Structure 1
Amino acid sequence: MDPVTLKTARVLLRPFAPADADAVYTACQDADIQHYTPAPTPYRREDAAKHVTETAPQGWATDQDYILGAFRADNGALVGSFCLTKLFQGVYELGYWAAKEQRGQGYSTEAARALCDWGFAELHAHRIEWWAMAGNTASRALAERLGFTLEGTLRNRNMVNGQPHDWWVGGLFKPSDSPSA
């Protein structure tokens, strides 16, 4: 699939370009991004260049990982990286990280909502999952603002820095497909 561009009132989601590598590198120096996401630690300039020139384009080319950079419409500042990753037919995982200086202003919620809406409409998703390491309360708060329902905690689901960690999982359904409780 060809990459798309999505616009909201305050955010532009677009494919990353090589020129974005410096902003990605700077944002990913944040300890929370390196701890709570699969970003390499330490995060090097080469990692940022690979993310914007290889990883993101390959995801679109293979129809498996739809990665977009989110940028403020007013000044072009990087908000973060947002993606939908195909898990199964009709089921995608929402992943994101936000630049520290852009957090708490609603940009990430706007970007993630636009991407989920696109996933339901264009990818024909019937379920979008959200996963986060237990303790990542900012990610959980964003997911809950989007309408995700926390479905459980998976004990020792994944290793981070050689240590097992619990993970939260939540689900969001296409409004017409919402399961009855």
Structure 2
Amino acid sequence: MSTSRIALRCPTLDDVDAITDACQDPEVQRRVPVPVPYRREHAVAYVTTFCEDGWITGERCTWALEVDGAFAGVIGLDDIADGSANLGYWMAPQHRGHGYLTEAVAAVLNFAFDTLELERVEWRAFAGNRGSARVAQRSGFRFEGVRRCASRGRNGREDDWVGSILSTDDRAQQAWAVLDA
């Protein structure tokens, strides 16, 4: 799969060093449930077990984002079942702020609704993760609210923001009170 600026492909062992480097970033460690400290063997297991097994079982689809031949981040659909899935993503620090994720989300939503024939895709992030929320907002997700103490963060339970998009929804940017206030 690709957009005008990025390729979306299965993560491979060639990505291990870049994944390891990206997962040293404090923002990735704060917002993504990765082991800390993050070691190379974690990236190997991620690629060879988590990613590969997800495609084999159909429970999740994970793509590496490639920009100009370089690994830039990850996007995936998890918990695929009963016509729905959860969307998650993260970017390596040097690739943030260029709109790559918004392009990737559009491509993955096309895959979710057209290929997998899903009816609903949900997005969740720790409350306050404005960068992730802005991508979801620009991609047409509707903000549904706050799930109190719904996730386990590094320092205990944290609130989640949650949004969704249906296959029948338009993809126009939505107003989100938590971001637009």
Common fold by TM > 0.5: yes
What is the CA-CA distance between 1:162 and the residue it aligns to?
4.2
1:121 aligns with 2:109: no
What is the CA-CA distance between 1:52 and the residue it aligns to?
1.3
1:31 counterpart (16, 26, 40): 26
What is the CA-CA distance between 1:39 and the residue it aligns to?
1.2
Asked if structure 2 preserves the Cα contact closer than 8 Å seen for 1:56 and 1:66, the reply is yes
1:149 aligns with 2:142: yes
1:132 aligns with 2:117: no
Q: Residues 107-138 of structure 1, C-alpha deviation per residue, up to 9 Å, x if partnerless? A: 11111110111110011111000000001110
Q: 1:141 to 1:54 in 2, by over 3 A?
A: same
Report what 2:13 is aligned to.
18
Asked if structure 1 preserves the Cα contact closer than 8 Å seen for 2:59 and 2:81, the reply is no
Unmatched runs of 5 consecutive residues or more in structure 1: 1-5
Question: How many residue pairs get matched?
Answer: 171
TM-score normalised to the size of structure 1? 0.90
Unmatched runs of 5 consecutive residues or more in structure 2: 172-181
Report what 1:101 is aligned to.
94
- Structure 1: distance between partners of 2:165 and 2:103: 16
- Structure 1: distance between partners of 2:72 and 2:138: 17
The runs of at least 4 aligned residues of structure 1 exceeding 6 Å deviation read none
- Structure 1: distance between partners of 2:80 and 2:8: 22
- Structure 2: distance between partners of 1:30 and 1:131: 20
* Identical columns (%): 38
